[in-house]
Amino acid sequence: MPFTLATWNINSVRLREPLVLRLLAEHGPDVLCLQECKSPVEKIPLEGFAAAGYTHMVARGQKGYNGVAILSKLPLEDCGDKDFASLGHARHVAARLENGTTIHNFYVPAGGDKPDRAINEKFGQKMDYLAEMRDWFHAEKPEKSILVGDLNIAPREDDVWDHKKLLKVVSHTPVEVEAFGATQDAGRWVDITRQDIPDGNLYSWWSYRSPDWDAADKGRRLDHIWATPDISNAAHSSHIGRAVRGWEQPSDHAPVFATFDL
């Protein structure tokens, strides 16, 4: 049975509940993975989502920061979470669909402003987080799995608006891109978005600081959908909902979509 999945850093699920409801109404993904929910689980506005047909949720939350949630029209089984880098943050949760597909929803630390762990603790935390993800995938090879989320790294030259200008900017530095690749390789993850859209500039995030984000188009592809090789060929119809970034009081991220025939 085919299902469509979307991932979206919502930047406060309670503040932007109307935008989530609009996305569910207009795009209707079967599964929506949200990051940066900034809410304890019990305060996520489930009633409205359930009324829209999303009666299943697996989530981890904390007050004011981080938080990940998987909303679904389809039944979900909670598969737990991992506290990578021992940060005590709500940055990962996993759930399994009835067809046996496991979905991992990640919110990788942004890493602060300076790409140097000696002077920037947050950058060190980001690198440790990626290293522990890598080690986990080496130890327990994922199968029939999808990994989505705000991974806070734009790995390819055409995943950023200017490769050379961003080489020293956190999210596109060579050391981050190398760690990103090692993490991806450890789980043999296939980048579904780029499998479907192999060429050309592609972004999912535009800074709030840009007065005209759409015209300036200084974006980065920070949000990703990966799948294990046993199901990657079942994926298609990938796209980024760029127009959503232009909705009123938006998140600075746009949702990313893919469909799986499983």
- Please tell me which residue in 56, 89, 104, 150 is annotated as part of the active site: 150
Spatial separation of the C-alpha atoms in residues 153 and 123, rounded to whole Å? 12
- Please tell me which residue in 54, 89, 104, 107 is annotated as part of the active site: 107
The answer to whether 189 and 147 are in contact (CB under 8 A) is yes
Has 105 been labeled as part of a binding site? no
The reply to whether 107 belongs to the active site is: yes
Has 252 been labeled as part of a binding site? yes
The reply to whether 150 belongs to the active site is: yes
Distance of CA 79 to the CA centre of its chain: 18
Query: ∠ CA 46-38-154 to the nearest 5 degrees?
Result: 115
Please report the sign of the dihedral spanned by the C-alpha atoms of residue 12, residue 17, residue 18, residue 20: positive
For residue 171 the two structure tokens come to: 């999210």
Strand partners of residue 83: none
Query: In this structure, how many other beta carbons lie within 10 angstroms of the beta carbon of residue 104?
Result: 24
Provide the 3-class DSSP secondary structure of residue 243: helix
Buried b (16+ CB within 10 A) or exposed e, 180-204: bebbbebbbbbbbbbbeeeeeebbb
For residue 217 the two structure tokens come to: 């188009």
Has 92 been labeled as part of a binding site? no
The reply to whether 65 belongs to the active site is: no
Query: In this structure, how many other beta carbons lie within 10 angstroms of the beta carbon of residue 80?
Result: 10
Residue list, annotated binding site for Mg(2+): 9, 36, 150, 152, 252-253
Residue list, annotated binding site: 9, 36, 150, 152, 252-253
Catalytic positions, please? 107, 150, 253
